[in-house]
Amino acid sequence: MTLLIILACVFGVVALMVVLGERFGKPMSNEQQAKFSKLSWVLVFMILVGAIIKEML
């Protein structure tokens, strides 16, 4: 029963984020999208390297 309550809370919070993001969010320009795209590749690479190092130790 507790798991269902936690799942319902998580679902509610995600739904709230989507509604608020659609209502108050503004579209990004192409330059911002390109910048975030480049940054996300770097961050994913860093997380992968960190996970590999953590598993090796």
Q: b vs e for 16-36, b when ≥16 Cβ sit within 10 Å of the residue's Cβ?
A: eeeeeeeeeeeeeeeeeeeee
- In the chain, domain spans: 2-56
User: What is the tens place of the pLDDT at every residue in 1-32?
Assistant: 999 999 999 999 999 999 999 999 888 899 99
Mean pLDDT for 27-41 is: 91
User: What confidence category does residue 54 fall into, taking pLDDT thresholds of 50, 70 and 90?
Assistant: very high
Please give the pLDDT value at position 26.
Answer: 85
